Amino acid sequence: MGFFDDLVLPDEPSAEERSVVARLRPPGQDEGRYTPPVDRFVPVLLSQPVPAGEGPETRVMLTGWSVWPGSVTLHLAVFRRTRRQGGSDSGQSGLRVGLLLSDGRRVTSLDGTTTRRVPLTGADGEERAAQLDQAVGLIPLDPGLHHSHRSLFKTDVDLYLPELPPAGEATVVVEWPDEEIAETRVPVDADALRTAAGHAVEVWPGLEAPEPDEGPRTIIHMEVGGPPRFLAPPLTQRQTETLRREEEARQRCVPRPDWDGMRSDDWADPALIEARLGAGAPPEGHVGWSGGTPLHLTAEQGCADGILALLAHGADVDARDDFGHTPLWYAVHRTKEAAVRALIDAGADVWTPQEAPWSPGRLLLTTPLAPLVSSLPGAEELPAEEVAALRAADALIAAFGDHPLWTEGLGICFVRDLTEDEVIRRLGADPARCPRTGLEDAPFDTDDFDETLRHVGVRAVEGAQGGCVITQDGYQTSDPELLSAISAGTTAYGLYFNPKGGTFGSLARDGEIVGSEEIGMWGHGLDPDAFWTFRFWQRDPGFPFGADAFAYACAAAGLVIDDGREAVDRHAPRRWVELPPELR
């Protein structure tokens, strides 16, 4: 009689009669990368029963290691003598565990996750893949649901390191603010772990792949449990970004004798500038891409206190950058009174032209800050025709109000003298079939970009020299075909606010394209003086973004209007026209 014959029934089915559910396959590429290779090896168990952290009601013990051929599992046991009512989930102040390796690297249970692609075969035999969030670093494992691992007062915590620690001494670090356990360090002999790895036993050496018809390739199953919930979770992406920014801000404020790491908006921070100067950072020297000095960059941000700090440390008030511009030139572009006044009081050159005929003082004469320089020695008076051009440009800019304007991806065309009906006829449509409606009632799907490009809105705009505007969520309003069709006997100017950057315009007169340009570029385009006249030079304009471009386009088309707000309001009613094929 066999040893167990009197303890079992003789009618158990034979192995041949049982169907194959799955067969173990040779190791895959990710074998041991995220979980221990428990199906293939018997690990070496190294005992190391030492305290790893102690609080008033909780103790953490390092119990030992499971050592695999190329990785290790760290075993901790958490003992508590008090269990409180309530959930066991913990926040960032939960149990934190880390390993400091001999090469200086740090791996922890807080290292976050990566996206893991898991291939599987569905019930229909089709190959699929699942995307999972996979912990990295010191990976928490499910210790199992058996009472010896997860009882009322004791919980095992298993953490997997998918590599062997490098030779030398490693350190286990434990901290648990919720349980008043301060940071505790325990030394670990990594050499002993590496030696033990050579004694792990491979259970199925030389394993061959099973035949294709021997059962499913992947079994999908669910385990209830998981790592202990009192482990502190990794930071979210937003939390990580917040910490990174806070650390960057802290590092920038650390006194240092140079200007390295200064961002453009840092030159608006007088405390930071003072800290750098106090540590020995030079007030002179090139720090900008254009050969500017610290005073240039601070003036460009309009930071009066920063300007005063640099001047007090000996900065040259009239230093020139590679373009021949002084700090006052950039301060004027910001139109910040305190910054401009600080430089003028320090003796800055006000009247020497830096972009003929424009000097810093001459620019100031076109702004509300004119009283700062109008009575200074060398002051000049602007020509009457120039003043008139500036006033006309300012009036057109003001016609678009002081509230934010819709510009991103906007196409708009200003055409002089024509009525709505005439514009619609020139666009190839019947005015009687084009009633005025809001965007929500437009006769096309506004979420369909191709449909949007086939339609434009037409609206009259009143003024001393009025006309119409044609708008679209797209670029067609500045295309040569459309401009040529509507400009016979008159003038039209179309522009497009490209979401990828730049505002581009084209002028048409009597059915022909006169020219095209990028609007707002100094010294270029159809009207080089427009850069100054329409205040494209101002860095802090007193009008919403895009109003200067709208005003310039009106002037180029010959319109003189008092109110253009509804003309550019995306939701204001207008008459919708489907463009004929030849105009698309």
* Cα gap 27→33, rounded to integer Å: 11
For 234-248, b/e burial (b = at least 16 CB within 10 A) is beeeeeeeeeeeeee
Can you state the angle between helices 547-557 and 384-398, rounded to 10 degrees?
Answer: 120
Place of tokens 């996206």: 115
Could you give the C-alpha distances from 337 to 86, 299, 344, 394, in angstroms and in order?
60, 11, 10, 20
The answer to whether 113 touches 234, Cβ cutoff 8 Å, is yes
CA distance 458 to 577: 7
- Amino acid identity at 230: F
CA dist 359 and 232 (Å) reads: 62
Task: Concatenate the DSSP letters of all residues of 55-68 into one string.
Answer: -SSEEEEEEEEEE-
Judge whether 534 and 519 are in contact, CB under 8 Å: no
63 close to 47: Cβ distance less than 8 angstroms: yes
Place of tokens 């320089």: 373
Q: Supply the DSSP symbol for 200.
A: P
Question: What SS3 state is found at 106?
Answer: strand
Q: Tens place of pLDDT for every residue, the chain, 584 residues?
A: 688 777 777 766 665 656 666 778 888 777 888 899 999 999 999 999 999 999 999 999 999 999 999 999 999 999 999 877 655 556 788 999 999 999 999 999 998 878 777 766 666 667 777 777 778 899 999 876 555 556 789 999 999 999 999 999 999 999 999 999 999 999 999 999 999 999 999 999 988 887 765 555 544 444 446 688 888 888 887 888 888 888 877 777 788 899 988 889 999 999 999 999 999 999 998 997 889 999 999 999 999 999 999 999 999 999 999 999 999 999 999 999 999 999 999 999 999 999 989 999 999 999 999 999 999 999 989 999 999 999 999 999 999 999 988 899 999 999 999 999 999 999 999 999 999 999 889 999 988 988 999 999 999 999 999 999 999 999 999 999 999 999 999 999 999 999 999 999 999 999 999 999 999 888 778 898 999 999 999 998 889 999 999 999 999 999 999 999 999 988 899 999 999 998 88
456 and 579 Cβ atoms separated by less than 8 Å: yes
Closest CA to 427 of 406, 444, 413: 413
For residue 273, which of 314, 316, 305 has the smallest C-alpha distance?
305
- Domains within the chain, CATH numbers bracketed: 41-82+94-202 (2.60.40.10), 252-382 (1.25.40.20), 388-578 (no CATH)
- Measured from the Cβ of residue 148, the count of other Cβ atoms closer than 10 Å reads 9
- Sheet containing strand 154-161, strands side by side: 44-54, 58-67, 72-80, 154-161, 139-141
pTM of the predicted model as reported, rounded to 2 decimal places: 0.65
Query: CA 553 to CA 225: how far, in whole Å?
Result: 67
Which amino acid, 479?
A: D
**Residue 167 · residue 21 · CB < 8 Å:** no
